[in-house]
């Protein structure tokens, strides 16, 4: 064990030299002082302390056991939703003819035997199971089994909505889809409730607007858009006319099977999507160096600034507001590139853009693997799903015992915890509580300078115990 730990320490030290901005020597001299390193402030230095968690000082075997248990629980949950979906769709078939007692032959039969048309029900011939039923739907279990299962989340700044557990299904037989929400009631009671009813839907935004969904539209990171008014959704979701679901994972086995059986499958991307991606990457490349060390301060500051000037509370701002924000935070984007970016984001031609999309466009966005752990950490804090967490609870739950500086005796747990709470508190509109959007912005900025996904996950696993 000592030999393995020694080898691991050597690998960690090598990794720190390559891309870790907060080596022990740099942190030691600037952590608790108001000194500055180039354009870094004391808050930037304290935020960079969280990156030291990538050294992963906890037991690997324990982590593997926890992951395996989570995988088993997730698979059981998905299987329960699959069974509920099949049950709901198959039970929609008509099991009897509701007009059988009003048919002419039945009326004549009753009158012929009894001479009256008002015979008691017990004397009438009940043909409930003898009628030839005409069903509107010919779906069977075999047909419905050709489906693609995918996990998704709501793209929302509202914590209660963003943390909803959604599982969707795309049926190859008629190109319809449905989305269910998995709900946990206490420890032992669970239920799967329809969120988007089964039907054939069209894209509401982007290059494919107006076209029906097909198999090529389902991949990790894909956006599914719906008219929120057409569905029975919570009021918080209906505030935005367009509901956007982000695909977080898909059933790869089912996808491969459907690809082979679908002759029309073509995963080619349009030239427009490729050009849009080039514009985003160009702007993000310009700002990468600026954001690599002060990403937390910039991303959380932008979010706080936009929420402050968003008087309507709908998440949309004008072109002038975004230009002013870039100037205020010293983010230099050439005018031509900004115009190209605006044309892409303002696809509805309303002269307003969602500021969450704008931040992700210029600073980049965490992949769905990382974002899943951010949501998991927040859901552990917000177990009542209210959408905000008191700062007192965050102080209680945050654990700094496994921080490398604490293990090395160079800092106390209280000092590390205070530095985290101070940097997180700077991004919050209220010092008393933290919303989901503020929590996500914090880790969005922190992830910019971290290349490896596992390193970023360790930053969340160590202090939050997930």
Q: What pLDDT, on the 0 to 100 scale, is given for residue 84?
A: 87
The CA distance from 462 to 466, in Å, is 8
Residue with tokens 């984007």: 333
Domain at 327, CATH number: 1.10.238
Beta strand extents in 65-159 (DSSP E only): 147-154
Q: Rounded CA gap, 57 and 403, in Å?
A: 8
Asked whether residue 442 is assigned to any structural domain, the reply reads no
CA 339 to chain centroid, in Å, comes to 29
Domain boundary pick from 363, 381, 405: 363
Are 297 and 318 members of one domain? yes
Co-location of 260 and 290 in the same domain: no
Give backbone dihedrals phi and psi of 244, rounded to 5 degrees, phi first. -115, 125
345 Cα distance to chain centroid: 20
Residue 108 falls within a domain, yes or no? no
Q: Do 246 and 293 fall within a single domain?
A: no
From first to last of its 466 residues, the chain has per-residue pLDDT tens of 556 655 656 655 555 444 434 433 333 333 333 333 445 677 778 888 888 877 665 555 556 666 677 778 788 888 888 888 888 887 665 444 445 444 444 444 444 444 445 566 555 555 544 445 455 555 666 777 888 999 999 988 888 888 888 999 998 888 899 999 988 776 677 888 899 998 999 998 877 888 999 888 898 888 999 998 888 888 888 888 889 999 999 988 888 888 877 655 555 555 666 777 888 888 888 888 888 778 888 888 898 899 888 887 778 888 899 999 998 888 888 888 898 888 888 877 888 888 888 988 888 888 889 999 999 999 889 887 888 899 999 999 998 888 888 888 888 889 899 999 988 888 888 888 998 989 999 999 888 878 888 888 888 888 898 8
Tell the burial category of 267 from Cβ atoms under 10 Å away from its Cβ (0-12, 13-18, 19+). Answer: exposed
Q: Quick check: is 332 in a domain?
A: yes
CATH of the domain at 243: 2.30.29.170
350 and 282 fall within a common domain: yes
Within a domain: residue 87? no
Same domain, yes or no, for 283 and 259?
Answer: no
Q: How many domains does the chain have?
A: 3
What DSSP line would sit under 176-204, residue for residue? EEEEEEEEEETTTEEEEEEEEEEE--B--
Same domain (yes/no): 258, 146: yes
**Residue 365, pLDDT score:** 86
For residue 126, being part of any structural domain is answered with no
H helices within 115-189, ranges in order? 141-144, 159-162
Same-domain check for residues 247 and 150: yes
Q: Do 252 and 287 belong together in one domain?
A: no
CA nearest neighbour of 150 among 460, 454, 367, 368:
368
Asked if residues 46 and 419 have their Cβ atoms less than 8 Å apart, the reply is yes
* DSSP H or E stretch at residue 436: helix 436-447
Using the 3D structure, point to which of 268, 298, 329 is the last residue of a domain.
268
158: helix, coil or strand?
Answer: coil
Which of 268, 290, 315 represents a domain boundary (last residue)? 268
Residues 359 and 285 grouped into a single domain: yes
198 and 175 part of one domain: yes
Q: Are residues 224 and 312 in the same domain?
A: no
Distances (CA, A) of 235 to 185, 195, 243, 353, 382: 21, 13, 12, 21, 20
- How far CA 204 is from CA of 275, 371, 462, in Å, comes to 21, 24, 40
Does the residue 285 lie in any domain?
yes
> Residue 311: inside a domain, yes or no?
yes
Query: What is the pLDDT, as a whole number, of residue 6?
Result: 59
Instruction: Kindly state whether residue 436 falls inside one of the protein's structural domains.
Output: no
Query: What domain range is 154 assigned to?
Result: 141-268
Q: Are 188 and 182 in contact (CB under 8 A)?
A: no
CA atoms within 13 A on the CB side of 435: 18
Do 248 and 281 lie in one domain? The reply is no
């Amino acid at each position: 064990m000592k030999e393995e730990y020694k080898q691991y320490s050597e690998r960690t030290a090598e990794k720190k030299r390559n891309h870790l901005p907060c080596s022990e020597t740099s942190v030691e001299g600037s952590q608790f002082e108001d000194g500055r390193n180039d354009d870094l402030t004391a808050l930037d230095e304290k935020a960079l302390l969280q990156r030291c968690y990538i050294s992963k000082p906890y037991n690997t075997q324990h982590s593997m056991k926890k992951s395996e248990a989570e995988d088993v629980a997730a698979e059981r949950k998905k299987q329960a939703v699959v069974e509920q979906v099949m049950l709901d769709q198959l039970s929609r078939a008509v099991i009897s003819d509701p007009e059988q007692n009003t048919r002419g032959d039945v009326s004549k039969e009753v009158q012929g035997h009894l001479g009256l048309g008002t015979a008691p029900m017990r004397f009438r011939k009940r043909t409930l199971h003898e009628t030839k039923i005409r069903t509107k739907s010919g779906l069977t279990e075999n047909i419905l089994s050709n489906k693609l299962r995918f996990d998704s989340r709501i793209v929302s700044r509202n914590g209660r909505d963003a943390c909803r557990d959604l599982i969707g299904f795309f049926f190859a037989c008629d190109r319809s889809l449905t989305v269910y929400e998995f709900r946990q009631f206490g420890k032992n009671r669970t239920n799967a409730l329809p969120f988007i009813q089964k039907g054939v839907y069209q894209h509401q935004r982007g290059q494919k607007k107006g076209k029906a969904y097909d198999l090529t539209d389902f991949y990790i990171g894909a956006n599914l858009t719906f008219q929120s008014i057409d569905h029975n959704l919570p009021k918080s979701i209906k505030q935005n006319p367009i509901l956007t679901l982000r695909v977080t994972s898909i059933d790869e086995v089912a996808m491969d099977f459907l690809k082979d059986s679908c002759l029309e499958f073509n995963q080619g991307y349009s030239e427009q999507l490729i050009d849009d991606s080039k514009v985003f990457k160009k702007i993000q490349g310009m700002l990468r160096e600026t954001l690599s060390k002060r990403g937390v301060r910039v991303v959380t500051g932008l979010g706080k600034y936009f929420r402050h000037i968003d008087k309507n509370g709908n998440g949309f701002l004008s072109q002038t507001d975004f230009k002013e924000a870039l100037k205020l935070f010293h983010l230099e984007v050439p005018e031509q590139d900004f115009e190209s970016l605006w044309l892409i984001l303002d696809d509805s031609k309303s002269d307003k853009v969602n500021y969450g999309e704008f931040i992700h466009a210029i600073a980049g966005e965490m992949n769905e693997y990382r974002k899943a752990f951010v949501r998991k950490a927040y859901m552990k804090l917000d177990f009542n799903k209210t959408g905000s967490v008191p700062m007192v609870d965050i102080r209680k739950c945050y654990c700094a015992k496994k921080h490398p500086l604490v293990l090395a005796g160079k800092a106390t747990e209280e000092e590390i915890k205070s530095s985290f709470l101070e940097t997180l508190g700077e991004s919050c509109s209220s010092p008393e509580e933290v919303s989901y959007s503020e929590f996500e912005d914090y880790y969005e900025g922190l992830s910019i300078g971290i290349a490896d996904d596992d390193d970023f996950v360790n930053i969340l696993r160590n202090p939050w115990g997930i």
